[in-house]
Every structure is written in structure tokens, then in C-alpha cells.
């Protein structure tokens, strides 16, 4: 009887061992199949619980933030920043110098010098992106065009007078044909020409815009108001980019009107003087000192405009206002 009991115990123990081995193999099999089918579990029933995703065995080491930004930082350190006029003239002989910097801070510091900002210089990336200007981008481009037009009329020996055709239109034709059919400009046509280069091309083709024409289609002030330029009535508020009307005159009927206009290019180190682009006489146009052709501007014979002068006999000015003034080609 004792032998029979020991045999039964031994048999039961052996069965448990076999069952344990079998369970181990089943568990290993379930682990491998579970890795393949774990995502499928979420599709069964309405209870979609989070399941273990497939294991990845050959992963690359994770990069730290410092490792990820290091190449970008190095690229930034090697970048070149360019100080140049916003719009280089198409005429090679009138091109202005370009300066390059390894540091954005150094480039911006140089752009804040009057000899540059009054001529429409700004800092650009190597791919031409506007990065910094002493003034906003509109004013910077406006002064850049003013410098070009001033240099062009000086180089081509324009005379002072009332042009029969809008000088801005005449210049556009010149760029296509290489022929200048009329070399006449005045203070108001000069300002209108700069605006023409900025995209304001819906000006009268004949004569162009004039300093005052009692609100007619040729009236420069009326044109600016129509475009949404803000009227400035305080002389102390004048700033770069403003179109300044001065020198009051009176008609026979007693109407007071401005007889001169110029483009302000900003303050100088002297609080009473401003940079200005002005084609109010032949000596201004040519930077000369010829008797009977206006004042002596021969000191600008090499550098050309802008001039440095106070604003006298101020009447009013017009200013571009972002979001208010119409900008051709910009929604």
C-alpha cells in the first residue's frame, strides 16, 4: 500500500512539472505573437485601451537639444549681412557701394549712420531678405529711389523747368529704348518721379503732378490725400519720408498755396537741420554754383544729394502711414 501511494505522488509531481514547462512555452509564444498583434487589439469592441507597441531593437541614440541646434548655430555664425541701398539703380555708373559684415549688430550700427540711412541703405541677408533699416521699409525704399533719381538728373545734366511729359514716364521709356527725349525737371516733378518709382504710376502722363493746382488732377497734394497719406501741420513733427510743402504764395483772389516741395530724408546731428532731396533750381539739380541758377550747391558736386538744410517757411507735409496709405502692389 505504501508503494502504491509513493507511485501516485511521484506521478502527480511529474505531471505538474510537465504542465509548468508547457505553460512556459505557451507564455513565450504569446509574447512573440503579442508583439505582432498588440495593435490589432484596439480594433476589437468599443473599449479601445492603450496597448504596448511593437518593440524597436535597432534605435539610434537620441540627440540632445544642444546637438540638434549646433549646426544651425554654426550656420548663423557664418552668415554674411549686407548693407546696401534698398534698390540699386539699373545704371552701373550710378551704383552705390555695398558693405558686408559678419555680425548683424555691426551691420545695424553702420545702417544707423546718417550717411547711409539718408540714402536709403538697409541691412539684408545674403538671399535679399530685409532685416533692418533705420526707418521702416517703405521710407527706406523711398529714400533709395530719391537718391537714384537725384543722381540720375545730376549725371544727365537736367535743366530746371516744367516738363511737358511726366518725367517718371519719360524715364520708364528711357530704360526701354536708351533714349532720353526730355531732360527737364522741377521740385514737384522730382517728388512725383520718386513716387512713380515706388509704384504710384497712375499720375497724369502730360505735365505730371505739380506742387499746387487748386485740387485738379495734377495737384500733388490732392493726389497724396486721395492715396491716404496723412497731412502733417506741425513743422516740429516732420520726419524722414515726409513730402514737405513750403514757401506760401498768394493768388490774385487771395488763395494761399505752397510754391515749393521737397522730400525729407531725416534729421541730422544738428536739431535744426534735415537731410532733403530737392530739385528746386538748376544748381540743386546739378550740384553746382552757376550764377542765376539758384544757390551754391557745389559742395555736393562729388557726393550729390541729399542736402543738409533747415526747414523754413513750412506749410504742411504728407506722410505714408502703414495700413492707411495705399501701397501699389501690396494688398
Among the ranges given (14-28, 113-127, 188-202), the one the predictor scored with the smallest mean pLDDT: 14-28
Backbone φ and ψ for 109, nearest 5 degrees, come out as -60, -40
63 pLDDT more than 70: no
137 pLDDT more than 60: yes
Write out the E strands in 14-127.
Answer: 81-85, 99-101, 121-124
Query: Angle formed by the axes of helices 187-197 and 167-177, to 10°?
Result: 50
Q: Are 154 and 94 in contact (CB under 8 A)?
A: no
Q: How many Cα atoms sit within 13 Å of 10 on the Cβ side?
A: 6
38 pLDDT more than 70: no
194 pLDDT more than 60: yes
Domains belonging to the chain, first-starting first, are 75-132 (no CATH), 137-319 (3.90.1720)
Q: How confident is the model at residue 78 (pLDDT cuts 50, 70, 90)?
A: confident
Give the burial class of 154: count Cβ atoms within 10 A of its Cβ; 0-12 exposed, 13-18 middle, 19 or more buried.
buried
Q: How many Cα atoms sit within 13 Å of 285 on the Cβ side?
A: 23
Please, which residues bridge with residue 256 across strands?
A: 250
Please, which residues bridge with residue 159 across strands?
A: 184
218 pLDDT more than 60: yes
Q: How confident is the model at residue 330 (pLDDT cuts 50, 70, 90)?
A: low
Among the ranges given (51-65, 165-179, 274-288), the one the predictor scored with the smallest mean pLDDT: 51-65
Q: Strand 81-85 to strand 307-309: parallel, antiparallel, or no bridges (unpaired)?
A: unpaired
| Average pLDDT in the chain | 83
The CA distance from 80 to 127, in Å, is 10
Task: Read off the pLDDT of each residue in 293-303 and give the average, rounded to a whole number.
Answer: 97
Q: Which residue has the cell 516744367?
A: 162
Backbone φ and ψ for 223, nearest 5 degrees, come out as -65, -45
pTM: 0.77
The C-alpha cell of 191 is what?
517728388
The CA distance from 287 to 298, in Å, is 5
30 pLDDT more than 80: no
The C-alpha cell of 126 is what?
545674403
Task: Read off the pLDDT of each residue in 161-178 and give the average, rounded to a whole number.
Answer: 96
Q: Are 166 and 196 in contact (CB under 8 A)?
A: yes
190 pLDDT more than 90: yes
> Is the preceding omega at residue 189 within 30 degrees of 0, hence cis?
no
226 pLDDT more than 80: yes
Helices and strands in the chain: count of H runs, count of E runs: 9, 12
Task: Read off the pLDDT of each residue in 102-117 and give the average, rounded to a whole number.
Answer: 96
Task: Read off the pLDDT of each residue in 88-106 and give the average, rounded to a whole number.
Answer: 95
Q: Strand 307-309 to strand 314-319: parallel, antiparallel, or no bridges (unpaired)?
A: unpaired
At residue 271, the pLDDT reads 82
Task: Read off the pLDDT of each residue in 253-279 and give the average, rounded to a whole number.
Answer: 96
The CA distance from 304 to 94, in Å, is 11
Q: How confident is the model at residue 31 (pLDDT cuts 50, 70, 90)?
A: very low
DSSP readout, 2-16? HHHHHHHHHHHHHHH
45 pLDDT more than 60: no
Report percent pLDDT > 70 for the chain.
Answer: 76
Q: Strand 314-319 to strand 230-232: parallel, antiparallel, or no bridges (unpaired)?
A: antiparallel
Task: Read off the pLDDT of each residue in 88-105 and give the average, rounded to a whole number.
Answer: 95
Q: Strand 184-185 to strand 159-160: parallel, antiparallel, or no bridges (unpaired)?
A: parallel
Amino acid at each position: 500500500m505504501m508503494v502504491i501511494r509513493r507511485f501516485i505522488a511521484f506521478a502527480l509531481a511529474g505531471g505538474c512539472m510537465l504542465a509548468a514547462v508547457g505553460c512556459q512555452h505557451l507564455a513565450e509564444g504569446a509574447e512573440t505573437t503579442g508583439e505582432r498583434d498588440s495593435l490589432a487589439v484596439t480594433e476589437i469592441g468599443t473599449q479601445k485601451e492603450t496597448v504596448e507597441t511593437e518593440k524597436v531593437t535597432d534605435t539610434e541614440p537620441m540627440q540632445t537639444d544642444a546637438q540638434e541646434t549646433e549646426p544651425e548655430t554654426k550656420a548663423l555664425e557664418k552668415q554674411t549681412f549686407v548693407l546696401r541701398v534698398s534698390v540699386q539703380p539699373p545704371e552701373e555708373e550710378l551704383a552705390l557701394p555695398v558693405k558686408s559684415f559678419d555680425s548683424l549688430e555691426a551691420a545695424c550700427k553702420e545702417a544707423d549712420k546718417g550717411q547711409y540711412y539718408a540714402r536709403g541703405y538697409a541691412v539684408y541677408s545674403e538671399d535679399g531678405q530685409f532685416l533692418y533699416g533705420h526707418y521702416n521699409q517703405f521710407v527706406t525704399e523711398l529714400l533709395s529711389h530719391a537718391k537714384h533719381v537725384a543722381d540720375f538728373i545730376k549725371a544727365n545734366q537736367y535743366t530746371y523747368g516744367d516738363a511737358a511729359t511726366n518725367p517718371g514716364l519719360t524715364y520708364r521709356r528711357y530704360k526701354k529704348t536708351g533714349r532720353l527725349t526730355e531732360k527737364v525737371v522741377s521740385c514737384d516733378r522730382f517728388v512725383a518721379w520718386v513716387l512713380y518709382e515706388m509704384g504710384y504710376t497712375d499720375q497724369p502722363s502730360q505735365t505730371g503732378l505739380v506742387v499746387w493746382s487748386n485740387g485738379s488732377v495734377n495737384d500733388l497734394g490732392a493726389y497724396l490725400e486721395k492715396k491716404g497719406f496723412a497731412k502733417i501741420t506741425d513743422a516740429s513733427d516732420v520726419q524722414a519720408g515726409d513730402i514737405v510743402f513750403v514757401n506760401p504764395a498768394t493768388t490774385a483772389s487771395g488763395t494761399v498755396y505752397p510754391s515749393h516741395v521737397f522730400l525729407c530724408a531725416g534729421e541730422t546731428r544738428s536739431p535744426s537741420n534735415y537731410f532733403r532731396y530737392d530739385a528746386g533750381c538748376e544748381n540743386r539739380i546739378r550740384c553746382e554754383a552757376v550764377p542765376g541758377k539758384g544757390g551754391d550747391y557745389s559742395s555736393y558736386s562729388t557726393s550729390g544729394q541729399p542736402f543738409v538744410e533747415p526747414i523754413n517757411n513750412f506749410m504742411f507735409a504728407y506722410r505714408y502711414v502703414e495700413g492707411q496709405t495705399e501701397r501699389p502692389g501690396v494688398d
